Amino acid sequence: MQINLLAVGKLKEKYWKGAVEEYSKRLSSYCKVNVVEVADEPTPDNASAAQEEQIKKKEAEKLLAKIGDRDYVIALAIQGKNLTSEEFADHLDKMASSGYSTFTFIIGGSLGLHETVLQRANHKLSFSKFTFPHQMVRVILLEQVYRAFRIQRGEPYHK
């Protein structure tokens, strides 16, 4: 199984990089992990709604170019569905049983994801109605994917 994490922007802080590396290492026993960063577009202060839409569209084009035709795409979006860790594990397991072998998770930039990315997504996932820093979401996502594998295999993991 292949897990792709597509994200707008780069991780800069060592502690976020370290956490992503740690969960990527833990996941290596279960799957291949590929983290791909696409450049974020500069957003001027007081950008108009039209400017923000153009920025999201440019970021979307970069993201969509990295998605395979047969990928099962999960977009992280506030308006997505909230799942428990067990439900998430079950969802991934069902999709793998349905023939998907590549799961691509997409984390947008500070303005969120463009509608074209949301339309391409097979599933929209929300971790909370809170807004989190995008760097933190990468870590939360990889931790939840790791937890999902542990749950699927009946392996112990703290609750």
- Residue set of the binding site for S-adenosyl-L-methionine: 76, 108
Q: Which residues are annotated as a binding site?
A: 76, 108
Distances (CA, A) of 158 to 83, 85, 110, 124, 150: 18, 12, 31, 26, 10
The answer for 8, left when phi > 0, alpha when psi is -120 to 50, beta otherwise, is beta
Rounded CA-CA distance 117/64 in Å is 7
> Identity (one letter) of the amino acid at 82?
N
DSSP element (H, E) containing 3: strand 2-8
Q: Quick check: helix, strand or coil at residue 73?
A: strand
